[in-house]
């Protein structure tokens, strides 16, 4: 699983070849 931070509150989670946008409060901090 790869986590790519796009912004301070949004990160893209790649699972099984699927792109999933997840909202998180502090994933890039």
pLDDT at 9: 47
1-29 tens-digit pLDDT: 455 565 544 555 666 656 555 655 455 54
Q: How many domains does the chain have?
A: 1
Burial 1-29 (b: 16+ CB within 10 A, else e): eeeeeeeeeebeeeeeeeeeeeeeeebee
Q: How far apart are CA 15 and CA 8, in angstroms?
A: 21
Q: How far apart are CA 21 and CA 24, in angstroms?
A: 10
Structure tokens belonging to residue 9? 């509150």
pLDDT at 7: 54
Q: Provide the domain limits for residue 1.
A: 1-29
8 in Cβ contact with 24 (< 8 Å):
no
């Amino acid at each position: 699983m790869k986590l790519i931070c796009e912004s301070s509150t949004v990160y893209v989670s790649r699972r099984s070849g699927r792109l999933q946008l997840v909202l998180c409060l502090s994933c890039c901090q």
